[in-house]
């Protein structure tokens, strides 16, 4: 928990600047941005289909390259 109090006689802009530097140093913003979207783990079957598709596309590209089409 980050707690920053305004000093006596401190301007609002100076307080905001001090607050933002403390926030950056604490790493709270980075952590919250990481947790903003939670990725679900990809299933084994989907990974396998993706790998097969990737190898097929690579083979197609290589064949087209040999023919001079790519």
Helix 12-26 and helix 28-35: axis angle, to 10°? 60
Residues 34 and 44 in one domain: no
Q: Say whether both 24 and 47 belong to one domain.
A: no
Average pLDDT of the residues of the chain: 92
Please tell me the predicted confidence (pLDDT) of residue 15: 95
Q: Find the domain containing 60 and state its range.
A: 40-70
* Inside any domain, residue 67: yes
Asked whether residue 53 falls in the same domain as residue 68, the answer is yes
The answer as to whether 4 is a domain residue is no
| Structure confidence by residue, pLDDT tens digits, 14-45 | 999 999 999 999 998 888 888 888 888 999 99
**Number of domains making up the chain:** 2
Neighbour tally for 14: CB within 10 Å: 12
Does residue 9 come out as left (phi exceeding 0), alpha (psi in the -120 to 50 range) or beta? left
Q: Are residues 33 and 44 in the same domain?
A: no
């Amino acid at each position: 928990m980050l707690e920053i109090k305004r000093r006596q006689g401190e301007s609002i802009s100076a307080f905001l600047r001090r607050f933002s530097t403390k926030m950056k140093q604490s790493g709270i913003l980075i952590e919250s941005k990481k947790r903003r979207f939670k990725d679900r783990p990809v299933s084994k079957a989907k990974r396998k289909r993706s790998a097969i598709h990737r190898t097929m596309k690579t083979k197609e590209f290589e064949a087209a390259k040999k023919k001079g089409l790519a």
